[in-house]
Amino acid sequence: MFPDKYDSYLYIDQDKIHKDLKNALKDALRITLSHITQKSPEIRAEKATKICYYRECGYTDEQIIDKILTDDYVDFCNNIGAAIKKQESRFRNPRNSAKIACFTESVQSKYMWDRYADGYKGFALEYDLRRCIFKYNSLGMSVNLFPVIYTDLRPDVTLDEGNIHTNEYFKQIGDKNWLSFLSSIISVNQLYWYRVYLYKDRKEYEHEHEWRMIYYNLEDENDYVAIPDVGCLKAIYYGPDISQKDKQELHQIAVEKGLKEYDVDLDTGSRRYDLRVTAIK
């Protein structure tokens, strides 16, 4: 639903993941061959039988590794591109467990009023989130707030995606020895699940000065989730062209919630292009 089509699309070098996965499989197979040589009791019988057969046929260990890769894992390695393409959409899926609220820093941004407030006919809400994040933690809600990072190039997340992909594959094949080895040399960066939403094109969007509140709602797959107000909401600002009907309804809510109210309008008494903010008594 984001207007920016590149939002949450990061750069992934599929060729590198393909190469790294093959290397991980080779390293794991070398450990398997070593365990068979040492007659380790943890080796699965079917794997040991196949490797011992190849050894009896006169294959070297490296030849055995290449043969097993070709026989058992070539399809998986060749399908990495399709698997990653399928996963790319998970960050933009409306049913994604990551829920995002977007904020800006200045209520006087004309661009933001025009684009996100129905052409100046809407309203803006002011939040003070400096202490509220800790209040959410006390409620058992892992709510986080980050500034958007504006860059000229999409961040390269090949390492993170490769580690996730490789880790998941070794889980699927159910080999505890290989998974244990893999866990000792790679790790999945937990911040990755937040960073993916925090990069935008500097040239096109830097003027938005965006911040994002991210909440991973793992129990509920609905499109939206309710984040309770814990005292963050402070004020409401009425756009220059808001209808009197909407303004009156919002005024009643503001009174009930004890919010400060402001009018936003053109500053016709100045040559500057600034918007004027006036407190409503």
Query: Average pLDDT, stretch 88-113?
Result: 85
- Rounded to 5 degrees, φ, ψ at 93 are -70, 130
Angle in degrees, 0-180, between the axes of helices 158-173 and 176-185, rounded to the nearest 10:
160
From residue 203, alpha-carbon distances to 136, 200, 206 in Å are 34, 9, 6
Least reliable range by pLDDT among 154-163, 172-181, 264-273: 172-181
Residue 279's SS3 state is strand
Does 218 score more than 80 pLDDT?
no
Q: In whole numbers, what is the pLDDT of the chain averaged over residues?
A: 85
Give Cα separations from 143 to 98, 119, 132, 140, 190 (angstroms): 10, 31, 9, 9, 15
pLDDT at 2 over 80: no
Distances (CA, A) of 128 to 105, 133, 261: 11, 10, 15
Residues in the chain: 281
Q: Is the pLDDT of residue 185 over 90?
A: no
- Per-residue pLDDT band for 108 (boundaries 50, 70, 90) equals very high
Q: Tell me the average pLDDT across 139-161.
A: 90
Q: Give yes or no for residue 46 having a pLDDT over 70.
A: no
> Is 228 or 31 the better-scoring residue by pLDDT?
228
- 3-class secondary-structure state, position 71: helix
Q: Is the pLDDT of residue 204 over 80?
A: yes
Structure tokens of 78?
Answer: 């060749």
Would you list the domain boundaries of the chain? 14-89+158-188, 93-154+196-279
In 3-state terms, the chain is what percent helix, strand and coil (to 5)?
45, 20, 35
Per-residue confidence (pLDDT) for residue 260, from 0 to 100: 97
- CA 124 to centroid of chain Cα atoms: 26
Answer with the residue of higher pLDDT: 260 or 161.
260
What is the predicted pLDDT for the residue at 44?
Answer: 63
User: Percentage of residues in the chain with pLDDT exceeding 90?
Assistant: 37
- The pLDDT value recorded for residue 202 is 96
Identify the residue with better confidence: 190 or 44. Answer: 190
Phi and psi torsions of 265, nearest 5°: -150, 175
- Rounded Cα distance, 174 and 170, in Å: 6
Read off the DSSP letter of residue 276. E
Sheet holding 275-279, edge to edge: 123-127, 233-238, 260-266, 275-279
